[in-house]
Amino acid sequence: MAPFGAQVGPMSGKRDYYDVLGISRDASEGQIKQSFRSLARKYHPDKNPDNPEAESMFKEIQEAYAILSNPEERRKYDVFGHERPGGSPFGSRGFQGVDINFDDLFGGGFESIFSQFFGGQQQDKSHGSDLLVRHSVPFQAAMDGMDDDIEIEVLKHCSSCNGSGSNIEGGSRTCPSCEGRGRIDEISMIGPFRQRVRKDCAPCRGSGRLVTDPCSECNGDGRLLQSIQVKFSVSPGITSGNRLRMRGQGEAPNTLNGYPGDLYIEIDVEKHQWFERDGADLLMALPLSFADLTLGTTIEIPHIDSENLSIKVPPSSNPGETITIPGRGLPFNGNSPRRGSVTVVLRLQSPKKPTRSLKNKIKEIRAELEESIPPIEERIREEANSRRSR
């Protein structure tokens, strides 16, 4: 029940603030904040585009939170309700929105929430930059995996000044404007409500420190380009475009307090001499002579699993037909012992420069071949019917 004198219902034309947030009148500050965070996430306009009702609810939630999160305003509301003496607590313009702290409201980083809602990207200066390098591995690595290493140049803390940026001890101090964070929050209007925008601190230029005696090695930056060797492992089944994340191997932060970024190694698997790849499956073309296609044959070729690949070609095979050999492809990416298949596409390899003797022999058997197969029109119809029925 509302305290005596509170007018929070139809007389004011507004819903009770406690009802708006779905809390009891004796709710704690933590419960008020928790309810506000949950409802704000649910009804945020950018999560509900083209929904005027959600936008109206979001503003109503903000207004209720603006009053109930302020102990003095809450006390007045508990006593007088919406009809408080002296008019609206928001002044003559009425409620214009509250200052939303994204870190407090959503429990995540300001930058990630800002990016999620508005498509922006803000660099967290307490976190060193992530790096991306591309590295090629032989095709065999997709079969067996491998251990490898690369050498890269990356900004690391200067060893001469231990990252302080100063030649002398005490020559670098925390920037008082940003308290070493390298960033400050400024209020900016986005739509009908105010929100915080994070920017580099001007006095320290985003470094979080003020240097009076710059280090001669790093010129006060606290960081230097250094060559480092990074070891990593490639798992069987790796594909081009896969990225390996090496935590803490990126750039050092340019602030006094922070942690290094990550290194991402994007793998490019080199081409095989004759295989094309589709995930764990392998595809190859097998050029054969007319005799091999007609009489059948068995072909053995070296394979990536160190055991020869045996391809049995049935008699009377035609160019374009396929032979599938299960279990001889690449491993699936992960811990599965399964492997893909090898698909062989048969091709007819005609002699490029047949000798006169070979030409004469082919002419001799042409008539006999023509007698053993149907007329040309019938062959065309049979081929079309076979193709359409697949």
136 and 196, same domain (yes or no): yes
Query: Could you tell me which of 163, 297, 327, 157 has the C-alpha nearest to residue 228?
Result: 157
Q: What percent of the chain stands above pLDDT 90? A: 36
Sign of the dihedral defined by the CA atoms of residues 68, 73, 76, 77, in that order:
negative
Query: Could you tell me which of 183, 198, 205 has the C-alpha nearest to residue 125?
Result: 183
| 198 domain residue, yes or no | yes
| 37 domain residue, yes or no | yes
223 and 249, same domain (yes or no): yes
Weakest-pLDDT range from 153-162, 226-235, 353-362, 368-377: 368-377
Rounded mean pLDDT of 179-202? 69
Sign of the dihedral defined by the CA atoms of residues 294, 296, 302, 305, in that order:
positive
| 281 domain residue, yes or no | yes
pLDDT in tens, 55-78: 888 888 888 888 898 888 898 888
341 and 300, same domain (yes or no): yes
pLDDT in tens, 68-123: 988 888 988 888 888 776 656 655 545 545 545 444 444 444 343 333 333 334 44
pLDDT in tens, 347-357: 999 888 888 88
CATH number at residue 308: 2.60.260.20
Range of the domain at 68: 17-98
> Quick one: residue 318, left, alpha or beta (phi over 0 = left, psi -120 to 50 = alpha)?
beta
CB 239 within 8 A of CB 333: yes
Look at residue 376 in the predicted model and tell me its pLDDT.
81
203 and 317, same domain (yes or no): no
- The better pLDDT of the pair 47, 155 is held by 155
Give the separation between CA 59 and CA 191, rounded to whole angstroms: 11
Of 98, 115, 146, the position where a domain reaches its end is 98
Look at residue 278 in the predicted model and tell me its pLDDT.
93
Rounded mean pLDDT of 41-61? 82
What φ, ψ does residue 183 adopt, rounded to 5°?
-140, 155
Helix (H, G, I), strand (E, B) or coil at 23: coil
Of 252, 269, 286, the position where a domain reaches its end is 269
Give the confidence band of 362 by pLDDT, cuts at 50, 70, 90: confident
CATH number at residue 66: 1.10.287.110
319 and 379, same domain (yes or no): no
Rounded mean pLDDT of 291-300? 93
230 and 163, same domain (yes or no): yes
| Inter-CA distances, 311 with 11, 61, 279, 282, 345, Å | 88, 71, 21, 14, 11
Look at residue 121 in the predicted model and tell me its pLDDT.
40
Rounded mean pLDDT of 12-17? 79
Burial environment of residue 110 by CB neighbours within 10 A (0 to 12, 13 to 18, 19 or more) = buried
Rounded mean pLDDT of 126-132? 84
50 and 87, same domain (yes or no): yes
297 and 320, same domain (yes or no): yes
Distant-in-sequence, close-in-space partners of 16: CB < 8 Å, separation ≥ 6: 2, 8, 9, 81
135 and 250, same domain (yes or no): yes
136 and 260, same domain (yes or no): yes
Does residue 329 carry a pLDDT above 90? yes
Give the separation between CA 234 and CA 389, rounded to whole angstroms: 44
Burial environment of residue 179 by CB neighbours within 10 A (0 to 12, 13 to 18, 19 or more) = middle
Helix (H, G, I), strand (E, B) or coil at 364: helix
Three-state SS for 105-154 is: HHCCCHHHHHHHHHCCCCCCCCECCCEEEEEEECCCHHHHCEEEEEEEEE
369 and 329, same domain (yes or no): no
281 and 235, same domain (yes or no): no
Give the separation between CA 349 and CA 321, rounded to whole angstroms: 14
| 77 domain residue, yes or no | yes
Q: How many domains does the chain have?
A: 4
What φ, ψ does residue 189 adopt, rounded to 5°?
-85, 125
